[in-house]
Amino acid sequence: MPVPREWALEDKVAVVAGNGLGWSPALVEALSEAGAQIVAVARDRAQTAAMLSRASLSPARTIQLSADLTRPSDVRRAVRKVVAAFGRIDILVNNPQRVVVQPFLATSLLDMRRMLDENLKSVLLCCREVGRVMVAQGKGRIINITSILGERGIANEALYCAAQGAVIQLTRALGLEWAPSGVRVNAIGCGWFTMEQIPQEEQEKSLLVRYLPSRRLGVPEDIGPLLVYLASDACDFIAGQTVFVDGGALVHL
């Protein structure tokens, strides 16, 4: 395995909470390539199976758990099962991905609740329940996957921006609160990503791509190695930080 010695996640227990969409399979693949055992937690079996679709793991090293991550009792039950199976949790990756593009004036109370439940409440609950285990262990790594839209605004995505901004602040506050307990809470803020292979020539036809300093959209492989670093023992002196992987989008005037 080409991972530098310090980065190895050999036999660590990694809980990935979210859904099967987007870059989830790549995140799982990166963790498993570094040697971690994977617990995929999502709404149903189809989602957890999708999360594991790229992992080159023996099924013995993975667990799939179905849970509604917006329900405290479901999250608790899932965490209890992981602890029963492995005795500990080393890594938690929170990867909710509900994106809704909608003018704010057209937003119903239900839209607000759904957005905040899926993108924020689920993260709060997973952090609290897994955090309980990690603080007791005196060690742990939590990585929240968030967005440049938690740092900058954009029209027609007010709810998403609000939720992601909250995740970035949660990361800072918990990073500090659990720093003395050996639990490192950090985040990865993703820029404009695509899940498809689009030739460079094709990409450059897009105004958005021409705006990006790196002149391309991100692909799931762009976040895997960083995730492994943030999850590793080597990364013990970084806390409360959101690292943006955005091809320079945030640098633009």
Partner 1 sequence: MLEKLNLDGKVALVTGGGTGLGREMALAMARAGADIVIAGRRPGPLEETAQKVRETGMRALALSADVTDLSQVASLVSRATETFGHIDILINNAGYPAQQQYAIWDVSDEEWHAGIEANLSSAFYCSRALAKQMVQRGRGRIINISSGAGIRSLRDNYMYSVGKAGLVAFTKALAMSLGRFGVTSNCIVPGSVPTKSRDAAEGAPPPARNVPVGRVGLPQEIGPLAVFLASDASDYMNGQTFFLDGGAFAGGVTPTGYIREAPSLGGAKEQT
**Residue placing its CB nearer to partner 1 in the complex, 40 or 190:** 190
Applying the rule CB under 8 A, the residues between 187 and 226 that interact with partner 1 are 191, 212-216, 218-219, 221-226
Q: Is the dihedral of CA 252, 119, 29, 4 positive or negative?
A: positive
Binding mask 61-90 for partner 1 (x = CB under 8 A): -----------xx--x--------------
Separation between Cα atoms, residue 65 and residue 160, nearest integer Å = 26
Q: Contact with partner 1 (CB under 8 A): which of 173, 195, 202, 208?
A: 173
Residues 119-158 as x/- pattern, contact with partner 1 by CB under 8 A: ----------------------------------------
Residue among 136, 154, 179, 195 that touches partner 1 (CB under 8 A): 179
CB of 104 to partner 1, least distance (A): 29
**Which position among 180, 196, 197, 205 is part of the footprint of partner 1 (CB under 8 A)?**
180
Alpha-carbon torsion, ordered 236, 12, 146, 202, to 10 deg = 110
Which parts of 17-46 interact with partner 1 (CB under 8 A)? Answer: 26, 29-30, 33-34
Q: 206 is written with which tokens?
A: 């897009």
Nearer to partner 1 (CB atom), residue 118 or residue 129: 129
Nearer to partner 1, 115 or 140 (CB): 140
Q: How far is the CB of 131 from partner 1 (least distance, A)?
A: 12
Bridge partners, residue 91, by sequence:
14, 141
Say how many C-beta atoms besides its own lie within 10 A of residue 165's C-beta: 18
Query: Residue 88 or residue 216: which is nearer to partner 1 going by CB?
Result: 216
Please state the closest distance from residue 106 (CB atom) to partner 1, in A.
33
Task: Give the number of residues in contact with partner 1, rule: CB under 8 A.
Answer: 56
How many C-beta atoms lie closer than 10 Å to residue 204's C-beta? 13
Task: Indicate whether 165 belongs to the interface with partner 1 (CB under 8 A).
Answer: no
Of residues 45, 156, 176, 195, which one binds partner 1 by CB under 8 A? 176
Which residues contribute to the site for partner 1 (CB under 8 A)?
1-4, 6-7, 26, 29-30, 33-34, 72-73, 76, 171-173, 175-176, 179-180, 184, 191, 212-216, 218-219, 221-226, 228-229, 232, 234-241, 243-248, 250-252
